Structures are given as structure tokens and as C-alpha cells.
């Protein structure tokens, strides 16, 4: 790859991060007053219904201690309840509370609205290519194990 391509990709990615609001630590890009890491946790818990805390850490690619603090914040908000995992006294299951389910739905609606508005500004004939490029970047960003 040529350095001009790398420079152009770096500049485009940095502009996207800023313009989309990913650099703001205490609110999601869709305007929710919630750290992005907590919003991602809510997505995973809502998707699964019940998820082991260690699995949440793996999916979010965060350290166990970071996820423990993050979950503590969600518990404090009244959005998540911790349960002991069946057959494993040390395992922790995370479940959304009723309030958490409502919050997760509100966040999903805000995320969908923001992405719809964003994609509406991409020319019709380029939307599929933009989405595919994002999928390729996401796959390329995975560190080999």
C-alpha cells in the first residue's frame, strides 16, 4: 500500500470519527447520554436476553475489570441485574431489567434514526458499496489470535 493511500484513509477515518461523534466519551453518536462502551454492552445484553459477563467482555474486546466497572454502572442506572450462573457459583449472568429493556429500545431507535439519516445523505447508487466497505473495515480490524 502506498503512503498516500494510508494518509488519505487515516484522514477520512479521523474525520468520520469526529463528524459522527465517536470521540465524545460520555454520549453515543446517536445522542444518547451514555458512554459508547455501555451502549455496546446494552446491545449485547438485549440481543442475548441473558449473557455471561465474561462473554460480554470477549464480545466488547475489553478487559474483565473494565467490563465489571461498566456493568456496575449499568446496575446503578437500574438497567441491568446480575444473577448467579446455573451450575457455576462464580459465573455471573447479566439480564436487562424492565427499565433496561426500555432504555435499550430507546437507544436502538436513536441508533436506527441516526444511521438512517446518515445513509440518506449517501447517494442511492453508492449505499451498498458504503455498507460493504464498513463491513470490510470491521473484518480487517480484527486482530489475528
Burial class (CB in 10 A: 0-12, 13-18, 19+), 25: exposed
CA distance 82 to 95: 6
| pLDDT tens column, 55-88 | 999 999 999 999 999 999 999 999 999 998 777 6
CA distance 80 to 63: 19
Using DSSP's 3-state secondary structure scheme, residue 87 falls into: coil
Per-residue pLDDT for 102 more than 70? yes
The CA-based angle 130-134-138, given to 5 degrees, is 170
CATH of residue 130: 1.10.10.10
> Which residues make beta-bridge pairs with 94?
51, 82
Find the helix packing angle between 53-60 and 64-76, rounded to 10°: 110
Q: Which domain holds residue 48?
A: 28-140
CA distance 49 to 62: 20
Compute the average pLDDT of residues 113-136: 95
Model confidence band, residue 25 (pLDDT cutoffs 50, 70, 90): confident
Residue 17: inside a domain: no
Domain count for the chain: 1
Residue 7: inside a domain: no
Residue 90: inside a domain: yes
What's the predicted TM-score (pTM) here? Answer: 0.86
Residue 41: inside a domain: yes
Residue 22: inside a domain: no
Model confidence band, residue 145 (pLDDT cutoffs 50, 70, 90): low
Residue 66: inside a domain: yes
Largest CA distance in the chain: 55
Amino acid at each position: 500500500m502506498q503512503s498516500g493511500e494510508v494518509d488519505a484513509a487515516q484522514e477520512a477515518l479521523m474525520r468520520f470519527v469526529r463528524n459522527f461523534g465517536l470521540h465524545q466519551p460520555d454520549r453515543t453518536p446517536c445522542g444518547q447520554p451514555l458512554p459508547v462502551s455501555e451502549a455496546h454492552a446494552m446491545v449485547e445484553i438485549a440481543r442475548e436476553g441473558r449473557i455471561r459477563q465474561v462473554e460480554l467482555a470477549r464480545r466488547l474486546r475489553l478487559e474483565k475489570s473494565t467490563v465489571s466497572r461498566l456493568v456496575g454502572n449499568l446496575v446503578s442506572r437500574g438497567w441491568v441485574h446480575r444473577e448467579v450462573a446455573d451450575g457455576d457459583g462464580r459465573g455471573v449472568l447479566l439480564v436487562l431489567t424492565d427499565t433496561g429493556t426500555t432504555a435499550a429500545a430507546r437507544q436502538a431507535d436513536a441508533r436506527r434514526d441516526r444511521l438512517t439519516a446518515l445513509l440518506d445523505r449517501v447517494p442511492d447508487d453508492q449505499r451498498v458499496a458504503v455498507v460493504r466497505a464498513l463491513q470490510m473495515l470491521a473484518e480487517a480490524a480484527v486482530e489475528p489470535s
